[in-house]
A and B are shown apart, each in its own frame.
Chain A
Amino acid sequence: MNARGDMATKGAIRIQNVDKMYYAREGAVQAVSDCSLDIRAGEICMIVGPSGCGKTTLLNAIAGFHDITGGAIYLDGEMLCGPDRPKADPGPDRVVVFQNGALFPWKTNLENVAFGPVVQGRLTKAQANEKARGMMADAGLVGVEHNYPGEVSSGMRRRVEIVRALMNDPKVLLLDEPFRALDSLTKSVMHEALLEIYYKNKVTIFFITHDLEEAIFLGHRVAIMTTRPCKPKKILDVDIPHPRDYSVLTSPRFRSLMEETVNAVHEEAVKAFEAGEKEM
């Protein structure tokens, strides 16, 4: 696996005054308004906020699945989308891991992982399989290569999907509540697995979650978003040194950061609830 070596110099995302308006049956909805956020190269930036606040809208704009209606987003200084091109092109430098998983059920785990380099024409099928096997082994995925995703546990599937994303040597991993559907024990295993993968790859991670404990445990920084329209309300520096393991959960510093976050998030959650926001 080609580790990025020192703290990555690639993968900085600049979100600048982004607006996103969309038209629903009940009229125009401002999902994101004047949102600015700088994500540093190689950091894990956690995005938390009430349901339906527009976090996923932001992720879709970075990934290039949807357009934006104002502002601009840059990756390493290069404009992904902005005034002249409202929608970014999806590309392997920004790979998404989805909320409920999007492994192709008709491909084996190995074929799933090898997918990116093959379609990009970067590697032959044999080379891609070779690399995929290596990366799966690094992530503790041995013996499931020739199983279909439907044959392995959900935690295993999420891990396969993260490895599949990393196979593309992305600058940024975009994770949209990837562990939401997992039980809390599997989740804790996945957190450590993700960190382990991250320490080896040092890729920038944009991670959306509702789980505050998850946010603080994993993130270098936690961006707490306001309810719709979405913009950062508060950005929290998690000054607990990496590498971390589960023992930090009981540390006093973790507790106080948790408290700080809970208050900010709760305020927004109440606003969202009163506004009758529904899950998007």
Chain B
Amino acid sequence: MSAIVASAAQPRPRPGQSIFRHHVVRAVISISVFILLWELGSRLKAPWVGEVPPPSVVLDTWIPLLTDQGYWYSWYQSSRRVLSGFLAAMIIGIPFGLAMATSRVFHDLTFPVFEILRPIPPLAWVPAAIIFWPTQELSIGFVIFLGAIFTIMLNVIGGARSIDVRFFQAARSMGSSNWDIFRRIVLPGVLPSIVVGCEVGIGITWNVVVAAEMISGGGGAIQSSAGGGLGFFIWNSYIGFSYPHIVVGMISIGIAGYISSAIIRRLGLYVTPWLRVR
């Protein structure tokens, strides 16, 4: 017993460097094999991938873009929109979800509407969003917001419901008020689910960024001063028949989504330190 305690009391050892190296090696293998198969498939005109530009061509297109201000401005625009839409989804979704989970009446009054709105794909909201909102940016933000809010809310509701009833009983029997129960049991109890909801939610915001940025008129040519965001970049490249640019845009969104989820995961572990101990 004491051995367990002693080891737990000491600062947790970080995963060894050798493990890290293995990790990286595997990731590199995974990505290299993928690129190699893609290049081969594309060059040999294999079915399905035959029409996709090979990675070498994509890379040729990408490299000049890396020094192109317009390309980075697209990154900035999309990130800004995703972040604001996502934050709005958190600010509204978390309290709303908590209210639905803790009040039966509120739940019964709002859940049916929630369930009808939820299945509507964000793409279908695009025309309505344009009509509803006075500015283009608000319309875009709204579509992105819709992408994330339902997932966040469902996770909050589910998380709050799954808190062990004994925690409530224990807290009550030690004399907790309703406010204590909310603050000291419900909030921390639901936090892990909020983190999961946000992690999935931010991924979805990148999924809908193309649909959302179709709203934006963008501006200028494809290569420079695109400015419409990465989603618009893809849409515009499609209209301009520039397939390598489409792929560049797709990969860029993939990378952006990966980074966002990784950041949320990190923040998540930071706010739920008790889950780090397993």
Which A residues are within 8 Å of any B CB, using their own CB? 63-65, 90-92, 94-96, 98, 100, 102, 104-107, 115-116, 119-120, 143-144, 146-148, 150-153, 155-156, 164, 168, 186
Contacts and interface: CB of A to CB of B under 8 A. Distances in A.
B188 to A, nearest CB: 4
A225 B188 CA distance: 39
Interface residues of B, number: 29
A143 B175 contact: no
A144 B4 CA distance: 10
Given A104-B167, A104-B184, A168-B175, 15 more contacts: A63-B173, A94-B173, A95-B173, A98-B166, A104-B185, A106-B272, A107-B274, A119-B171, A119-B174, A119-B177, A120-B175, A147-B9, A150-B278, A151-B8, A156-B5
A259 B42 CA distance: 82
B68 interface: no
Contacts of B172: 64-65, 90
A147 B9 CA distance: 7
Contacts of B171: 104, 115, 119
Contact of B174 (A98, A115, A152, A153): A115
A98 B176 CA distance: 17
Consensus secondary structure, chain B interface: helix
A92 B180 CA distance: 14
A96 B169 contact: yes
Nearest to A189: B1
A63 B166 CA distance: 12
6 contacts: A107-B274, A115-B171, A116-B175, A120-B174, A120-B175, A151-B277
B48 to A, nearest CB: 48
B170 interface: yes
Contact of A119 (B175, B188, B272): B175
Given A98-B166, A119-B184, A152-B5, A106 B173 contact: no
B174 A105 contact: no
A95 B174 contact: yes
Contacts of A156: 1, 5
Interface in B254-278: 272-274, 277-278
A96 B166 CA distance: 10
A155 B1 CA distance: 8
Contacts of B273: 148
B169 A102 contact: yes
B189 interface: yes
Nearest to A101: B166
B191 interface: yes
Contacts of A104: 167, 170-171, 184-185, 188
